[in-house]
């Protein structure tokens, strides 16, 4: 009798696990991408291909620090002019001098102030 009850409980648990796993596996087996996600991934791959092709054609190395002329892939003169205009606006807004590079992180130099010595002697 006890064996029959345990077998029944085991069968019930097995059935519930099979249903749960079957429901999850249907979602996991589906490999279709969201159309927006697919478009985004395609554009990323296209950009990576164009940027690698650009560096191969120009003979430039793939360093993280690029000059201003190398910032954009497939950029026309209008985009480069807009970029330069934005840099000029930032220079005016944040007090950059003419000819200063606003894309460079500023160098801070702090000097320690001269402190008077503490005299602990009682007079």
Tell me: the pLDDT tens digits for 22-51? 666 766 666 666 888 889 989 988 888 887
With vertex at residue 120, the alpha carbon angle to CA 119 and CA 123, rounded to the nearest 5 degrees, is 90
Q: What is the pLDDT of residue 95?
A: 78
Confidence of residue 78 (pLDDT cuts 50, 70, 90): very high
Q: Determine the Cα–Cα distance for residues 106 and 112; give it in Å rounded to an integer.
A: 19
The percentage of residues in the chain with a pLDDT greater than 70, rounded to a whole number, is 72
- What is the pLDDT at residue 62? 52
pLDDT, mean of residues 1-21: 79
Measured CA to CA, the distance from residue 61 to residue 51 in angstroms comes to 11
Structure tokens at 120: 């602990």
More confident residue, 16 or 82: 82
Cβ contacts of 73 within 8 Å, gap of 6 or more: 47, 50, 51, 54
């Amino acid at each position: 009798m006890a064996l029959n009850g345990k077998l029944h409980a085991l069968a019930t648990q097995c059935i519930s696990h099979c249903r749960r796993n079957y429901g999850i596996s249907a979602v996991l087996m589906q490999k279709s991408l969201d159309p927006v996600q697919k478009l985004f991934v395609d554009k990323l791959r296209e950009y990576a291909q164009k940027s690698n092709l650009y560096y191969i054609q120009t003979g430039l190395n793939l360093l993280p620090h690029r000059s201003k002329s190398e910032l954009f892939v497939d950029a026309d003169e209008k985009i480069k002019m807009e970029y330069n205009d934005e840099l000029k606006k930032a220079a005016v807004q944040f007090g950059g001098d003419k000819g200063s590079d606003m894309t460079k992180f500023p160098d801070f130099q702090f000097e320690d102030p001269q402190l008077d010595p503490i005299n602990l002697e009682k007079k």
